[in-house]
Amino acid sequence: MERTLAILKPDCVRKNLTGEVLARIQKAGFNVRALRQVQLSRAEAEGFYAVHHERPFFGELVAFMTSGPCVPMVLEKENAVADFRTLIGATDPAEAAEGTIRRDFADNKGQNIAHGSDSVENGRQEANYFFAEKELVSRGG
């Protein structure tokens, strides 16, 4: 089984879409191994998005991710990384496919409802940023 990190971003929480988006994730066959709601500090957001430090949108991204609570979660299924990125759609909701999470709920490229890891290795590293291995639970029942 493959794991990926998903984050329901502050705009998702602010719009009260957390339950609806989570339901879509589960309907798509993902097993939620860990989930919590957090308020990221500036240092935490800068650390998580350090790979983008030199990019022009870094400051705006950090400000957005610290603007309200978000919901990181570890998802598991076969082909989790690619399947989750397909489920959420393109970064720019205007370019996202019909029926994707971003197309249906996101306002713009900067506030696009969800984060998804872009590789299996990043999925592991990003999951470890928010959750210890002992916090990951098996699917119940």
Q: Confirm whether 54 is domain-assigned.
A: no
- For each of the chain's 141 residues, which pLDDT tens digit applies? 899 999 999 999 999 999 999 999 999 999 999 999 999 999 999 999 998 899 899 999 999 999 999 999 999 999 999 999 999 999 999 999 999 999 999 999 999 999 999 999 999 999 999 999 899 987 654
Query: Three-state secondary structure along the chain?
Result: CEEEEEEECHHHHHCCCHHHHHHHHHHCCCEEEEECCECCCHHHHHHHCHHHCCCCCHHHHHHHHCCCCEEEEEEEECCHHHHHHHHHCCCCCCCCCCCCHHHHHCCCCCCCCEEECCCHHHHHHHHHHHCCHHHCCCCCC
Number of domains in the chain: 1
Q: Confirm whether 88 is domain-assigned.
A: yes
pLDDT digits (tens, 9 = 90+) for 69-91: 999 999 999 999 999 999 999 99
User: Residue 14: which domain range?
Assistant: 2-38+70-135
Prediction pTM value: 0.93
Spatial distance between the Cα atoms of 127 and 121, rounded to a whole number of angstroms:
10
Q: Confirm whether 32 is domain-assigned.
A: yes
Q: Confirm whether 45 is domain-assigned.
A: no
Give the CATH number for residue 104. 3.30.70.141
Catalytic residue ranges = 115
Q: Confirm whether 107 is domain-assigned.
A: yes
Q: Confirm whether 43 is domain-assigned.
A: no
Q: Confirm whether 13 is domain-assigned.
A: yes
